[in-house]
Chains A and B, each alone.
Chain A
Amino acid sequence: MIKLQNVEKVYRTSSIETLALNNINLDVKKGEFVSIMGPSGCGKSTLLNIIGLLDAPSKGIIEIDGRKVERFNDKEIAPLRNKMLGFIFQSFHLINDLSVIDNVEIPLLYRSNNAKQRRELAEEALEKVGLANRMKHFPKQLSGGQKQRVAIARAIVGKPEIILADEPTGNLDSAMGNEIINILQSLNENGATIVMVTHDDAMAKRTHRLIRLFDGTQVL
């Protein structure tokens, strides 16, 4: 489903060159739940951004669902992000000026769904995460766990095959964190391929496979 070959990422400024990822090789099969762990600054988020096509590698090959995408332009990448990938972030990234249901509808705005279809899909996604009763609320009226559940609903509303979660429990207490992992596990059981960056060993143990990074290099 996701294949990375000899991926390298170098950040360059006028005076400094930083090697963020070095020779990463990764193969995530369809339906797998993979976690990425490592100390701060080891390149976990960079790797997730590259898998999620939010950032381009300096070198290497990326294959998503059999398509080599590292040379794709903006117009080719955007629909792929929209249809294949769902993102969950540590800081939720909800738009405070939109209601819960409007936040969940965002990925569908970049598709050809009409307003009614968007509403139905968003309601369905919110029901899956147990927030059907909070649709009209605004993010500021929700707890951290509820916000993350809204973010999950937004990630799954377009029924993507891959979900990328960047420390989804990082801003939550352990009870809330468990609740989020339970949801992710249930999505995985329903066929979603999940790649999750985490600092938490206990969370990582609940995934199928653990990938460790250190200083931008994959630890085997």
Chain B
Amino acid sequence: MIRHLIKLIWNKRGTHALLIIEIWASFMVLFGVLSMIVYNFTNYLEPIGFQYEQVWNLDLKNNQDTIDVGDKLKRALQRVRSYSEVASASRMSSNAPFSASQMNNSVDYNKINVLADQYYTDEAMRATLDLSVESGRWFDESDKVSKYVSIIINKKMKEGLFTGDNPLGKVIKVDDKLSYKVVGIIDKFKSHGEFSADEPGMFRMIGKDDNWNSNMMIKTKPGTDANFEARLVKDMATMLPGWGIEVSYLKDSRNNRHKITLVPVMIFLIVSGFLLTNVALGLFGILNLNIAKRRGEIGLRRAMGATEADVTTQFLGEVWVLAIFSIVLGLLFAMQFPLLGVFDVPVNTYAIAVLAAILIIFLIVTLCAWYPSRQASRIHPAVALHEE
């Protein structure tokens, strides 16, 4: 029967071309949207790697002030740490968690190259963000005077750069003046939020007289409220006249980050939902018309021994064959994404998206074909043959 259906569809391929294109387009749209959803969802399932509750980001900008900036930042940090409401505080580069800022550098080791996010911070960051050190250690005072620049890398960078070797103690030469030494490995650090991928990343210690990295991560004690925020801003303004002072809660920044990810997904979902509804209605109409045109054939098949169920199965089968043609065509296009590595998305994300898209396409075509097919099976053979 399957061969018969394929022949029937193949011989009518001209008539069905538009339908095939319609299903193909739906498949491609679904593939795109589902790839996006699967990518974000699988990322979401991975732990973020740090604690953001109760953590504030104090963003200081020296503006026109260029005198003793490093010293002023040091004193500001000491002041922040002195508050009884503060559990821990540390300095950080502007690419703080959930911020839109990003800093990355290419790192080479044994002819392997990895593009890694680079974060500047200090010895207190581990406690501030509850970072989990898998092996080695976090920064300490000795790193400020060591021969090499101490770095702490995440597991993703370890896997990418050291492929099986133990990176602890390894020296990575950047140029004649700069070499890194790996002193610790942390698990994950998804600074762009749960929906982002776990990218290779490394932490460097902020230098003694650094006057660039002016963000401070402040972990407050439970129950700390906006009164402290006001006091903090006021004190900072007194200490650092003319500076820009901004406090943001990582919790809020995380929500904003979620919106940045989810809003486009929602827009694509709504647009593709409309598109699929249109395709489904079109398909339903075409099938109804098709069946009305083929009443004679239905009568004939019933006369030749087809049961009602056979007729239903035949029409459903025809739509499934059409869907298979369209999906095969769609797969030729979809396969190009992982093959050419168009986006930095894992192959299994595409595989899940393809499977889900196939499932949804079959669900839609089956739902659209079910009612007309049932109607077709109920056509009285004598009436259908007489009409013809």
Contacts and interface: CB of A to CB of B under 8 A. Distances in A.
B107 interface: no
A90 to B, nearest CB: 10
Interface in B281-331: 296-297, 299-308, 310
Contacts of A87: 303-304
B3 A110 contact: no
B310 A78 contact: yes
Given A95-B297, A98-B11, A74 B382 contact: no
A91 B388 contact: yes
What size tier do the contact residues of chain A reach?
20 to 34
A109 B302 CA distance: 12
A79 B305 contact: yes
A1 B216 CA distance: 99
B308 A74 contact: yes
A82 B304 CA distance: 5
B170 interface: no
Nearest to A91: B388
B7 A45 contact: no
A109 B311 CA distance: 12
* Chain A interface, DSSP helix/strand/loop, else mixed: helix
A82 B3 contact: no
B303 to A, nearest CB: 5
Contacts of B296: 93
A109 B1 contact: yes
B177 interface: no
Interface stretch (A36-44, A48-56, A195-203, A206-214): A48-56
Given A78-B310, A87-B303, A106-B300, A93 B8 contact: no
B70 interface: no
A115 B3 contact: yes
B305 A54 contact: no
Contacts of B4: 102, 105, 109
Interface in A65-82: 74-75, 78-79, 81-82
A27 B8 CA distance: 40
Contacts of B11: 97-98
A54 B302 contact: yes
Interface string A104-135: 01110111000100000000000000000000
Q: Which of the listed residues B1, B7, B304, B388 has the most CB atoms from chain A within 10 Å of its own CB?
A: B304
A97 B310 contact: no
Contacts of A98: 7-8, 11
A30 interface: no
B147 interface: no
Given A55-B382, A115-B3, A106 B304 contact: yes
A82 B385 contact: no
A83 interface: yes
B208 interface: no
B307 A102 contact: no
B379 to A, nearest CB: 12
A25 to B, nearest CB: 21
B305 A82 contact: yes
B111 interface: no
B292 to A, nearest CB: 16
B381 interface: yes
Contacts of A107: 304-305
A89 interface: yes
B388 A93 contact: yes
Nearest to B386: A45
A145 to B, nearest CB: 19
A157 to B, nearest CB: 10
B231 interface: no
Contact of B304 (A46, A81, A97, A115): A81
Q: Quick one: which of A83, A89, A115, A158 has the most chain B CB within 10 A?
A: A89
A81 B385 CA distance: 15
Contacts of A45: 386
Contacts of A75: 307
A83 B303 CA distance: 11
B283 to A, nearest CB: 20
Contacts of A97: 8, 11-12
Given A78-B305, A87-B304, A115-B3, A49 B382 contact: yes
A46 B386 CA distance: 10
A54 B12 contact: no
A110 B306 contact: yes
Given A74-B307, A79-B305, A110-B310, A54 B385 contact: yes
B300 to A, nearest CB: 4
Interface of A: 45-46, 49, 52, 54-55, 74-75, 78-79, 81-83, 87, 89, 91, 93, 95, 97-98, 102, 105-107, 109-111, 115, 154, 158
11 contacts: A52-B303, A54-B299, A74-B308, A78-B310, A81-B304, A82-B304, A93-B388, A97-B12, A106-B304, A107-B305, A111-B305
